[in-house]
Amino acid sequence: MNASQNLTNLAPFTEELMRKAGEMGFLGVSIPEEYEGKAIVAKVDVDANQKFAAEYGVRNIPTVILFKNGEQFSKQVGVAPKSQYVEKLEEALK
């Protein structure tokens, strides 16, 4: 991932069907708006980026990886409440 060295990056690994169903919609709308200028949310379609998903050990979707200073900071496999992602983002931004 071309993760910025000075920003926090949240990367939800999903597939097209899941995005169409609207699961985890807050990762595509409210979190990017709330953390604009502080964090980047970059969605990764595992069907189109299989090599990239394999590089980060993504075997189940959704998987959300949080990067800090270009390094993996945390990983969440499966759907979690928005509050859990916000908590991890806040930890990474400290």
Q: Which residues pair with 10 in a beta bridge?
A: 41, 66
CA torsion, points 9, 59, 16, 1, in degrees to nearest 10? 30
pLDDT averaged per 10 residues, the chain (length 94): 59 66 64 89 88 92 90 91 92 93
**Gap between the Cα atoms of 64 and 80, Å rounded:** 10
Q: Which domains does the chain have, with CATH numbers?
A: 8-82 (3.40.30.10)
Angle among Cα 36, 49, 20 to the nearest 5 degrees reads 65
Residue 55 confidence (pLDDT):
93
Model pLDDT, residue 23: 55
